[in-house]
């Protein structure tokens, strides 16, 4: 009886086989992501794409690149908006920008940049603070398709009311309309906001240190990782940050479980902003 209780469920085996197939065929490693979250997304994908079962999905993604691209889009987390959590951006202006002013050149990494709304938000903030021209921003994500959307910087005009409200609450110093051009049902972000941005694919689960950064953003991404992968990524960020560099996490994430936690000081507890100790 105890053997039956300990036996893995068929759906657990199917998910493991799917993740292994993705890794072996395409090199994307989801094996250390939260299984509950992945299972929900896979189940939804199977339903929406009318697969009969997980085995049919596995066969399809192994033999059809377009089938995998569709699945990848559903597996990656792309919930974002411009100036999301305005209090974070206000705290960044007040507590981090004064330190950034002391640097002659800034390297900033947005890990898990998704479709780019937060990239343009930070570019606007840095522009308003007179820092953008001395910045190099690295926008990375596991999903090449969303990176292409980020590069284009085209968003629905229907979202602009919310984005503008966020911008104002975040301490914006101009008008949101100064940073985009409206065209039909879309807005196009001003090209100057991406002149110092490099878009690149990067897998936090497998790729290595990204350079000596003054700031790293990874907000509301690691909540989808298991504890082991979280520890790996925290160490990756630690090793990628310059001494005195700033680490910005999402409001549901914390350094507490990281082995390198003692190497950071808390700059803003509520907004999860930390500084690597000198």
pTM strictly above 0.95: no
pLDDT band, residue 77 (cuts 50/70/90)? low
CATH class for the domain made up of 86-276: alpha beta
- The per-residue b/e assignment along 104-132, b for 16 or more CB within 10 angstroms, e otherwise, is eebbbbbbbbbbbbbbbbbbbbbbbbebb
Token pair, residue 186, equals 């879309």
Could you count the other beta carbons within 10 Å of the beta carbon of residue 166? 20
Query: What local confidence, expressed as pLDDT, does residue 78 receive?
Result: 66
Q: Please state the rounded mean pLDDT for residues 43-70.
A: 91
pLDDT score of 192 more than 90: yes
Q: Which letter does DSSP use for residue 262 in this model? A: G
**Sign of the dihedral through C-alpha 262, 265, 270, 273:** negative
Q: Please state the rounded mean pLDDT for residues 169-198.
A: 95
Query: What local confidence, expressed as pLDDT, does residue 87 receive?
Result: 96
Residue range 113-172, pLDDT digits in tens: 989 999 999 999 999 999 999 999 999 998 888 899 999 999 999 999 999 999 999 999
């Amino acid at each position: 009886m105890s053997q039956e209780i300990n036996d893995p469920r068929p759906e657990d085996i199917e998910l493991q086989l799917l993740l292994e197939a993705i890794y072996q065929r395409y090199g994307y490693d989801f094996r250390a992501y939260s299984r509950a979250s992945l299972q929900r997304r896979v189940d939804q994908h199977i339903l929406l794409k009318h697969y009969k079962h997980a085995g049919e999905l596995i066969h399809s993604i192994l033999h059809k690149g377009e089938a995998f691209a569709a699945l990848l889009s559903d597996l990656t987390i792309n919930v974002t908006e411009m100036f999301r959590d305005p209090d974070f951006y206000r705290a960044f202006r007040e507590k981090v920008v004064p330190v950034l002013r002391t640097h002659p050149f800034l390297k900033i990494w947005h890990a898990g940049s998704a479709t780019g709304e937060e990239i343009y938000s930070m570019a606007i903030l840095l522009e308003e603070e007179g820092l953008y021209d001395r910045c190099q921003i690295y926008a990375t994500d596991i999903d090449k398709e969303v990176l292409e959307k980020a590069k284009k910087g085209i968003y629905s005009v229907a979202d602009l009311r919310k984005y503008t409200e966020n911008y104002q609450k975040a301490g914006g110093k101009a008008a949101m309309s100064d940073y985009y051009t409206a065209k039909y049902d879309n807005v196009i972000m001003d090209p100057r906001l991406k002149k110092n941005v490099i878009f690149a694919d990067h897998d936090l689960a497998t790729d290595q240190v990204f350079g000596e950064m003054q700031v790293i953003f990874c907000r509301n991404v690691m909540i989808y990782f298991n504890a082991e992968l979280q520890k790996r990524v925290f160490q990756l960020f630690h090793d990628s940050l310059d001494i005195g560099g700033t680490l910005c996490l999402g409001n549901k994430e914390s350094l507490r479980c990281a082995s390198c936690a003692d190497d950071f000081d808390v700059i803003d507890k509520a907004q999860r902003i930390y500084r690597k100790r000198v």
